[in-house]
Structure 1
Amino acid sequence: MPTEYLRYDKMVENALRGVVREALRQAGERGLPGNHHFYLTFRTHDPDVHIPDYLRGQYPSEMTIVLQYQFYGLEVDEEKFGVTLSFNNMHERLVVPFAAITTFADPSVNFALQFQPLGAQDGPSSVEEIEAEVTEEAAQHAAKLGSPKPAEEGKTGQVVTLDAFRKK
């Protein structure tokens, strides 16, 4: 199966995770206006998810949290968010990377996003990873064709055909 060079599906997912990031950032800075509230489902077994062990035991694969009335210390950065919620009258801090989120919804405005898991088994997940993969494949292909010969003195340029780099 040929490798896809432009993984638009992954790029769109990354962009939509940015929508979640910005919604959480605004909620952290200004609170939730009107009837807005968020349902966030995330994979609890992701290695960068930090939740208490008893919650991981109760929710070994996925967990849904609701940010509506009682949430505290919502902090958002480029890779993750952290929030303190109450479980059985105990405040617990959760830290969840955006890559672990599987669903984001704001039912007050009938808005929802569903995400595919990001990870090595799915191929590259960021633009940088995609570019690195394409660069490596191009280098391997060029090595198979042999290194180009240096330009002869007196020549001002050389026409290169791109057909050699296209997959057949």
Structure 2
Amino acid sequence: MSDRSTTIAYGRLMHRAMRGLIQTVLADVARDGLPGAHHFFITFDTGAPGVELADWLRDRYPEEMTIVIQHWYDALEVDDDGFSIVLNFGDNPEPLRIPFDAIRTFVDPSVEFGLRFESTEVADDEPEDEPPSPPERRTDRERGAQDAEVVSLDTFRKNH
């Protein structure tokens, strides 16, 4: 038994799994295109390490930005760390580079699917400030759901 950590980092593992899901979906779209009515709203932290976007976009969206991958996009490339894409902003094609760790929400409203990633998480080797609650009050699944959870699609509905 390793003495590296005294607990299993379910939240971090869940983050990795959900970001792997996004990677797989985007890689499939890069290879085959968007199937049917699928489209994505992706909100990301514009100040996160590795984010690349035009200065005018960073000035306009200094904290976070939501992009839509639907009708027009080009040069979608996916790797282990994130994805690159060219999107059209008012008839100005702009390249973006978005690391998976910068993603805050990923929503596909065509099938009412969404994920939200909270920005605060405890490192694997750092103890939490407070002891964990008893299992009957807070399960491991609920604790992990704080890090990655389903997003309310009402945020993205046009008739909201």
TM over 0.5: yes
User: Do 1:105 and 1:111's aligned partners in 2 also have CA atoms closer than 8 Å?
Assistant: yes
| Selected match of 1:66 from 51, 58, 68 | 68
SS at match of 1:22: helix
Would the alpha carbon gap of residues 7 and 51 (structure 1) be closer, same or farther in structure 2, given more than 3 Å must change? same
SS at match of 2:68: strand
SS at match of 1:73: strand
| Selected match of 1:23 from 17, 22, 25 | 25
Structure 2: unaligned runs, 5 residues or longer: 127-160
> CA offset at residue 6 of structure 1?
1.1
Give 2:101's aligned residue: 99
| Selected match of 2:45 from 37, 40, 43 | 43
Paired AA for residue 10 in structure 2: Y
Bigger relative contact order (CA 8 A; separation at least 6): 2
Cα distance in structure 1, aligned partners of 2:90 and 2:11? 40
Paired AA for residue 33 in structure 1: P
SS at match of 1:28: helix
Structure 1: unaligned runs, 5 residues or longer: 125-129, 135-168
> CA offset at residue 4 of structure 1?
5.6
Runs of 4 or more consecutive aligned structure 1 residues displaced over 3 Å after TM superposition: none
SS at match of 1:56: helix
Give 2:113's aligned residue: 111
Cα distance in structure 1, aligned partners of 2:82 and 2:111? 24
State the identity %: 41
1:146-165 equivalences under 5 Å are none
TM-score normalised by L of structure 1: 0.69
> CA offset at residue 116 of structure 1?
1.8
Cα distance in structure 2, aligned partners of 1:117 and 1:77? 22
Cα distance in structure 2, aligned partners of 1:16 and 1:46? 18
| CA deviation string 1:68-114 (max 9, x = no partner) | 01000000001010000011211110000000000000000000000
TM-score normalised by L of structure 2: 0.72
User: Do 1:100 and 1:117's aligned partners in 2 also have CA atoms closer than 8 Å?
Assistant: no
Cα distance in structure 1, aligned partners of 2:39 and 2:74? 14
**Higher helix fraction (1 or 2):** 1
Q: Which has the larger radius of gyration?
A: 1
